[in-house]
Amino acid sequence: MSEPARLRIRLDSGSAAPVFEQICDAVRRDIAFGRLPAGTRLPTTRALAAEIDVAVNTVAKAYRELELEGIIEGRGRQGTFVIDPSGTAAEHEALRCAHALRDLGVSRERALDLLARAWGP
């Protein structure tokens, strides 16, 4: 497996933006400038937290936000990766919905049932 990318994150302690948003902005910027192409593996939350001296939960919150935006995806033990931004709007919405339901503690089976019922006849 490839080594994770080295992110260019400079936190501004004087900024009104929360630290997790600063992390999100840095990742978005690196993606926009081509420094993190699709398929790039990101550092683990623990590794990045240690590198930039923040709490692991702060990095995890940033990664969750970026995942909800359809920018990155967690692949379990394989790691977290930058995804191809050409996904459809429907794919992004499905990802957002799946995360919201998972955060509510809804099982996959129940989520599928809820979607089927919401879809209607």
pLDDT band at 6 (very low <50, low <70, confident <90, very high): confident
The structure tokens listed for 43 are 């550092």
More confident residue, 96 or 62: 62
What's the full length of the chain, in residues? 121
Q: pLDDT value at position 32?
A: 85
| Fold classification of 1-85 (topology level) | Arc Repressor Mutant, subunit A (1.10.10)
Max CA distance (Å), the chain: 54
Domain ranges in the chain are 1-85, 87-121
Asked if 30 contacts 13 with a C-beta cutoff of 8 angstroms, the reply is no
Question: CA 104 → CA 23, 68, 70, 73, 108, distances in Å?
Answer: 25, 15, 19, 19, 11
For the stretch 21-78, pLDDT in tens is: 999 999 999 988 889 998 999 999 999 999 999 999 999 999 999 998 889 999 888 9
Q: What is the pLDDT of residues 7-35, one digit of tens each?
A: 889 999 999 999 999 999 999 999 888 89
Rg (CA), the chain: 16
Q: Are 83 and 71 in contact (CB under 8 A)?
A: yes
Residue 86: other Cβ atoms inside 10 A = 7
Q: Which residue has the tokens 């930039």?
A: 52
Phi-psi region of 42 (alpha: psi -120 to 50; beta: other; left: phi over 0): beta
